Amino acid sequence: MDKNKTTEIESVVIRFSGDSGDGMQLTGTLFSNLSAILGNEISTFPDFPSEIRAPQGTLGGVSGFQVHLGSGKVYTPGDDADVMVAMNPAALKVNAKDIKKHGVLIFDADSFSQKDLEKANFTTENPFEELGLSDTIQLVPVPLTSITQESLKDFDLDSKSVTRSKNMFALGLICWLFNRPIDQAIHFLEKKFRKKPDILHANLKVLTDGFNYGNNIHLALSTYLVDKSEETPKGKYTSINGNKATALGLIAASKKADLELFLGSYPITPASDIMHELALRKDMGVKVVQAEDEIAGITTALGASFAGALAATNTSGPGLALKTEAIGLAVMAELPIVIVDVMRGGPSTGLPTKTEQTDLLQALYGRNGESPVVVMAASTPANCFDYAYMASKIALEHMTPVILLTDGFIGNGSSLWKLPRLAELPGIKPNYPKTGMEGIKVTARDPKTKARYWSIPGTPGFEHRNGGLEKDYNTGAISTDPLNHQRMVDIRQAKIDYISNVIPDVEIEGNPEADLLIIGWGSTHGHLITAVNNINKTGKKVALAHFNYINPLPKNTAEVIKKFKKVVVCELNSGQFVSFLRTKVPGEYLQYNKVQGQPFSASELEEHISSLLK
Amino acid sequence: METIQKNQEIQYTAKDFKSDQYVRWCPACGDYAILSSLQKVMAELGVSPTNTAVISGIGCSSRLPYYISGYGFHTIHGRGAAIATGVKVANPGLTVWQITGDGDCLAIGGNHFIHSVRRNIDINVLIFNNQIYGLTKGQYSPTTKKGYVTKSSPYGTIEHPFRPGEITIGARGTFFGRILDVDLKSSQMTMMAAAKHKGTSVVECLVNCIIFNDGAHGWLSEKATREDRVIVLEHGKKMIFGKDRNKGLVLDGFNLKVVTIGENGITENDILTHNAQNPDPTLHLKLIYMEAPDFPVALGIIRDVPAETYNDAVVSQIAKVQEKSTIKTFDDLIDSLEQWEV
- Cβ distance of A289 and B86 shorter than 8 Å: yes
Chain A residues with CB under 8 Å of B2 CB are 458-460
Percent of chain B residues topping a pLDDT of 70: 97
Residues paired with residue A90 on neighbouring β-strands, in sequence order? none
Judge residue A424's burial from the number of C-beta atoms within 10 Å of its C-beta, 0-12 exposed, 13-18 middle, 19 or more buried: exposed
Of A293, A466, A477, the CB nearest to B111: A293
Q: Which residue has the higher pLDDT, A185 or B203?
A: B203
Over residues A277-293, the mean pLDDT reads: 98
How far CA A265 is from CA of A297, A298, A403, B87, in Å, comes to 4, 7, 15, 15
Tell whether the model's pLDDT for residue B73 goes beyond 50: yes
* Amino acid A330: pLDDT: 98
The dihedral of CA B208, B213, B218, B219: what is its sign? Answer: negative
Q: Which residues, other chains included, contact B252 with Cβ-Cβ below 8 Å and sequence gap of 6+? A: none
- Cβ distance of B91 and A309 shorter than 8 Å: yes
Tell whether the model's pLDDT for residue B254 goes beyond 90: yes
pLDDT digits (tens, 9 = 90+) for A392-401: 999 999 999 9
Chain B residues with CB under 8 Å of A464 CB are 71-72
Chain B residues with CB under 8 Å of A264 CB are 82, 86
Tell whether the model's pLDDT for residue B5 goes beyond 60: no
Of B21, B55, B90, the CB nearest to A287: B90
The residue length of chain A stands at: 614
DSSP string, B176-232: EEEEETT-HHHHHHHHHHHHHSSS-EEEEEE--BTTTBTTTTHHHH-HHHHHHHEEE
Chain B residues with CB under 8 Å of A235 CB are 341-342
Chain A residues with CB under 8 Å of B340 CB are 36-37, 236-238
Percent of chain A residues topping a pLDDT of 70: 98
Chain B residues with CB under 8 Å of A307 CB are 53, 86-88, 90-91, 94
Chain B residues with CB under 8 Å of A228 CB are 342
Q: How many residue pairs from chains A and B have C-beta atoms closer than 8 A?
A: 206
Predicted confidence band of residue A78 (pLDDT cuts 50, 70, 90): very high
pLDDT digits (tens, 9 = 90+) for A287-340: 999 999 999 999 999 999 999 999 999 999 999 999 999 999 999 999 999 999
Q: At what angle do helices A272-280 and A242-256 cross, to 10 degrees?
A: 50
CA–CA distance, A87 with A17 (Å, rounded to integer): 6
* Amino acid A321: pLDDT: 98
* Amino acid B342: pLDDT: 80
- Cβ distance of B329 and A458 shorter than 8 Å: no
Phi and psi of B48, rounded to 5°?
-65, 155
Of A232, A237, A328, the CB nearest to B339: A237
* Amino acid A10: pLDDT: 86
* Amino acid B4: pLDDT: 47
- Cβ distance of A465 and B73 shorter than 8 Å: yes
Nearest C-alpha in B relative to A256? B330
| Closest CA of chain A from B70, distance in Å | 5
- Cβ distance of A468 and B74 shorter than 8 Å: yes
Nearest C-alpha in A relative to B49? A463
Tell whether the model's pLDDT for residue B3 goes beyond 50: no
- Cβ distance of B340 and A229 shorter than 8 Å: no
Mean model confidence pLDDT for chain A: 94
Domains of chain A: 3-226 (3.40.920.10), 234-246+292-502 (3.40.50.970), 508-613 (3.40.50.920)
CA–CA distance, A607 with A594 (Å, rounded to integer): 14
- Chain A interface test: which of B83, B88, B200 (most A C-beta within 10 Å): B83
Rg (CA), chain B: 22
Tell whether the model's pLDDT for residue A21 goes beyond 90: no
DSSP string, A39-97: T-EEEEEEE--SSSSPSTTSGGGEEEEEEEEESS---SS-SSEEEEEESSHHHHHHHGG
Predicted confidence band of residue A56 (pLDDT cuts 50, 70, 90): confident
How far CA B329 is from CA of A428, B1, B326, in Å, comes to 17, 22, 9
Phi-psi region of A441 (alpha: psi -120 to 50; beta: other; left: phi over 0): beta
Number of H helices, E strands in chain B: 11, 12
Of A282, A459, A477, the CB nearest to B50: A459
Tell whether the model's pLDDT for residue A192 goes beyond 60: yes
Chain B residues with CB under 8 Å of A465 CB are 19, 21, 65-66, 71-74
Tell whether the model's pLDDT for residue A148 goes beyond 90: yes
- Cβ distance of B53 and A419 shorter than 8 Å: no
Over residues B125-146, the mean pLDDT reads: 96
Q: Which residue has the higher pLDDT, B283 or A71?
A: B283
Over residues B133-158, the mean pLDDT reads: 96
| Closest CA of chain B from A211, distance in Å | 24
| Closest CA of chain B from A326, distance in Å | 7
- Cβ distance of B86 and A264 shorter than 8 Å: yes
Of A264, A301, A465, the CB nearest to B65: A465
Domains of chain B: 14-221+308-318 (3.40.50.970)
* Amino acid A423: pLDDT: 98
Q: Which of A326, A315, A396 is nearest to A359 (CA)?
A: A315
Over residues B33-43, the mean pLDDT reads: 98
Tell whether the model's pLDDT for residue B111 goes beyond 80: yes
For residue A460, the Cα-to-chain-centroid distance in whole angstroms is 43
pLDDT digits (tens, 9 = 90+) for B151-188: 999 999 999 999 999 999 999 999 999 999 999 999 99
- Cβ distance of B79 and A251 shorter than 8 Å: no
Which stretches of A200-284 are assigned E, i.e. beta strand?
223-226, 236-241, 261-265
* Amino acid B2: pLDDT: 42
Tell whether the model's pLDDT for residue B85 goes beyond 90: yes
pLDDT digits (tens, 9 = 90+) for A344-371: 999 999 999 999 999 999 999 999 999 9
Rg (CA), chain A: 26
Asked if A260 and B90 touch (Cβ cutoff 8 Å), the reply is: yes
Nearest C-alpha in B relative to A250? B330
Task: Give the 3-state secondary structure of residue B323.
Answer: helix
Q: Which of A115, A95, A117, A114 is nearest to A106 (CA)?
A: A95
